[in-house]
Chains A and B, each alone.
Chain A
Amino acid sequence: DTGVSQNPRHKITKRGQNVTFRCDPISEHNRLYWYRQTLGQGPEFLTYFQNEAQLEKSRLLSDRFSAERPKGSFSTLEIQRTEQGDSAMYLCASSLGQDWTYEQYFGPGTRLTVT
């Protein structure tokens, strides 16, 4: 399967714990995006990378959130000191990165539940 993959698919954690999610984009895609989706809502943009450079971060990304994309391949999203409000589906997407291409390809998501 050459699509976007995310791990884990589900994560249950206690409030105050740290969690880390991984995203593996489609191999030739150099743009990678993170979104968060809560129940009944559309995805909301968190951050995006062009190769290894993090080019934009949303105001939703508080200082408890950090994302990396070492070597411009896979990416990790870490949430420190989780809060119940962090419970959501975290979606990763990638795109080709040519100026004329805007379609994004999404992974299956990581569903986070903070108890």
Chain B
Amino acid sequence: SQQGEEDPQALSIQEGENATMNCSYKTSINNLQWYRQNSGRGLVHLILIRSNEREKHSGRLRVTLDTSKKSSSLLITASRAADTASYFCATDAYNDYKLSFGAGTTVTVRA
């Protein structure tokens, strides 16, 4: 079974707009990561946030984590056509290295 749930399932935005997606999970975590997957291809690691962190930035990405609500958000600013992809959150538990993924948010950036 999947640990996380992303919301929304799909998102369509205009190039230059910001995209925000959310992830909720069920059990305590050690880290939460976000991955991107282009159509039919492997996953690319975007960013990792540890359970004792609340916010992290990487380029145009901003991730927040609220462990009390068991939720995270990923913000992509100034979106580009190349950001069109599916985005997954993945969690791991303390001393457990396997990842539990959500079902993903499909983002379409219109030119």
Residues of chain A whose beta carbon lies under 8 Å from any beta carbon of chain B: 4, 31, 33, 35, 40-45, 48, 56, 89, 91, 93, 95, 102-109, 111
Stretch touching chain A among B13-21, B37-45, B62-70, B75-83: B37-45
| B30 closest partner in A (C-beta) | A102
Return chain B residues, CB-CB under 8 Å to A104: 33, 45, 99
Among B33, B35, B41, which residue has its beta carbon within 8 angstroms of that of A102?
A: B33
- C-alpha spacing A21/B6, complex, angstroms: 30
- Contact, CB under 8 Å: A107 / B103: no
Chain B residues 1-53 with CB under 8 Å of chain A are 2, 4, 30-31, 33, 35, 40-45, 48
- C-alpha spacing A43/B43, complex, angstroms: 10
* A–B Cβ pairs within 8 angstroms, 9 of them: A42-B101, A43-B99, A48-B98, A93-B43, A95-B97, A102-B92, A104-B33, A105-B45, A109-B41
Among B30, B35, B42, B104, which residue has its beta carbon within 8 angstroms of that of A108?
A: B42
Return chain B residues, CB-CB under 8 Å to A44: 2, 101
Q: How far is the CB of B95 from chain A (nearest CB, A)?
A: 9
Return chain A residues, CB-CB under 8 Å to B71: none
Return chain B residues, CB-CB under 8 Å to A48: 97-98
Q: How many of B's residues come within 8 Å of A, CB to CB?
A: 24
- C-alpha spacing A35/B90, complex, angstroms: 13
Return chain B residues, CB-CB under 8 Å to A91: 42-43
- C-alpha spacing A40/B42, complex, angstroms: 14
- C-alpha spacing A56/B33, complex, angstroms: 21
- A-B contacts besides A42-B4, A42-B102, A43-B101, 5 pairs, CB < 8 Å: A41-B2, A42-B101, A42-B103, A43-B99, A102-B30
- C-alpha spacing A4/B44, complex, angstroms: 11
Return chain A residues, CB-CB under 8 Å to B30: 102
- C-alpha spacing A109/B40, complex, angstroms: 9
Return chain B residues, CB-CB under 8 Å to A40: 103
